[in-house]
Copies of this chain bind each other. A is one copy, B any other.
Amino acid sequence: MAPATVSRFLNGGIELPPATAERIRSAIAELGYRPNPYARSLSRGRTDMLALAIPDIQNAFFSQLASAVDRCAEEQNLSLLLCSTANKTARELDFIERLRRRFFDGLLLATNHADDGTLAEAINTADSNIVLVDEDVPGARVAKVFSDNEQGGFLAGSHILAAGHRAIAYIGGPPKLMSTVERRQGLSNAISASSDARLVCCLEHDYTREHGRAAMAEIIAHHRDVTAVFAGSDEITLGVLEVLREHGLRVACDLSLVTFDDVGLLHLLDPPVTAIRQPTAEIGRKAFERLAAAITGESVEIATERLPVRLVERASVAAPRRA
């Protein structure tokens, strides 16, 4: 009984004479033999493992994304290494380095911060299988899968305008981030189309609850005329809601609100919050497919794909109160 025969039997899917097959099977059972995946990878030159790097597992959007990718990986019998980068470049670079060392066959990378060029360069010199998800790294020449942020901003704006609002504020993430810019742009486009409405202010800083708090406080203090707010993420919205409550202000009634993401529990609040919903699972799936294709060596086009978002109308947008 040669090792090669066993290997072929286990792994090549070749049919064997029943006698031999049985002999192998019983030997395996008695010896408690278990193939070593590392040796296998070493010999075959691939690992059948993918990695997904996200800024924060605890963020509902990313855990949803992770969940979707995980399902895909399972379907394809691939392992998924889930990496939390804490949104730090150093850790992102670390995972790119692991890819180069062939620790896994491909990397799905979700960033959430501006890049000074380091990341882009690392990505471009890795020449390996990387797909960017959710947020851009400018200058990186790889496949990218995003949602249509501009459309989202536009939908939010149009909806707010349709309710009769004329003084609108935008609370966004980091100023230079693609998502921040595009969402603002979409909102701005919608508002420009209306002659008498205006974008009172754009408060951009971080996709965090803290920023939501600060920005909302700022609006209350200095922008009394604002009657509707478009928040760039659920996290931001959380902060907004906290401040609103502290000031005894009610959503819809005193201030209209549209959020972005729609992965949290915002629909359970009273009133439930109207949202622009990202197709999180589809983003994950598309990105996965792109990566899988790249790995199997299919035509690697490095195009950017944008998935449509949609407005989920609930009850946080109402007509503005007459002052």
Contact = CB atoms under 8 A, between A and B. Distances in A.
A245 B315 CA distance: 15
Contacts of A269: 269
Listed residue (A84, A98, A100) with the most chain B CB atoms within 10 angstroms of its CB: A84
A34 B98 CA distance: 9
Contacts of A265: 238, 264-265
A41 interface: yes
A103 B37 contact: yes
Interface in A61-99: 63-64, 66-67, 70, 74, 79-84, 91, 97-98
B60 A58 contact: yes
Contacts of A42: 36, 38-39, 42
A268 interface: yes
A56 B64 CA distance: 10
A41 to B, nearest CB: 5
A47 interface: yes
Contacts of A36: 42, 101-102
B57 A66 contact: yes
Contacts of A82: 57, 66, 80-82
Interface string A229-249: 000000000100110010000
Contact of A34 (B57, B80, B101, B245): B101
Nearest to A56: B67
A232 B223 CA distance: 44
Given A100-B34, A101-B34, A242-B268, A70 B41 contact: no
A79 B83 CA distance: 9
Interface residues of A, number: 41
A45 B10 CA distance: 23
A121 interface: no
B84 A37 contact: no
A313 interface: no
Nearest to A265: B265
Interface string A258-298: 00000011001110000000000000000000000000000
B70 A57 contact: yes
Interface in A200-242: 238, 241-242
A35 interface: yes
Nearest to A73: B84
Given A37-B102, A58-B60, 6 more contacts: A34-B100, A37-B101, A38-B38, A82-B82, A264-B265, A265-B265
16 contacts: A34-B100, A34-B102, A37-B102, A38-B38, A38-B42, A38-B47, A57-B57, A57-B70, A58-B60, A58-B63, A63-B63, A66-B84, A74-B91, A79-B81, A81-B81, A81-B82
